[in-house]
Amino acid sequence: MLPDPAVSGFSVFLLGLSLGLTACAVTCLPFIGTLTLGKAEGRSSGMRDTAYFLGGRLISYTLLGTLAGTLGAWFVRELAAGAGNLVIGLSSLFAAAWLIWPSTPHRGCRPARRFAGLSPMLLGIGLT
């Protein structure tokens, strides 16, 4: 039995709202906080700027979700038709040939060579 679309859509909305206003808001705080405090035009201006910022995020995530859902539905439909399996198989063979094809060694840029000895853990810490 398929789930009721209204319940599923509402559940997804609540999940997005709970994640968007908690963990994601904390990572966005340096950006919106700097903008709001930098303008220093009062509480109402700060609330308006924050609402616009959150509205922009909402529109962007909605458009990206719609695009992902549409492309995903198209991809599943193509896979079911059989042509998708051929495309995936040929892409896999092309990727394998590309990986085993001999090439000239890559030489990194100057900063990459300078920091090559550092642990990747530092990158993980920096991006967190």
Domain boundaries defined on the chain: 5-101
In angstroms, rounded to a whole number, what is the distance separating the alpha carbons of residues 64 and 58? 10
Which amino acid appears at position 23 of this protein? A
User: Looking at residue 55, what is its pLDDT?
Assistant: 79
User: Looking at residue 1, what is its pLDDT?
Assistant: 47
User: Angle at CA 21, nearest 5°, toward 25 and 46?
Assistant: 65
Q: Mean pLDDT over residues 108-123, rounded? A: 64
Please say whether the beta carbons of 31 and 56 come within 8 A: no
The predicted model scores a pTM of 0.51
pLDDT band at 37 (very low <50, low <70, confident <90, very high): confident
Say which residue the tokens 């962007």 belong to.
Answer: 60
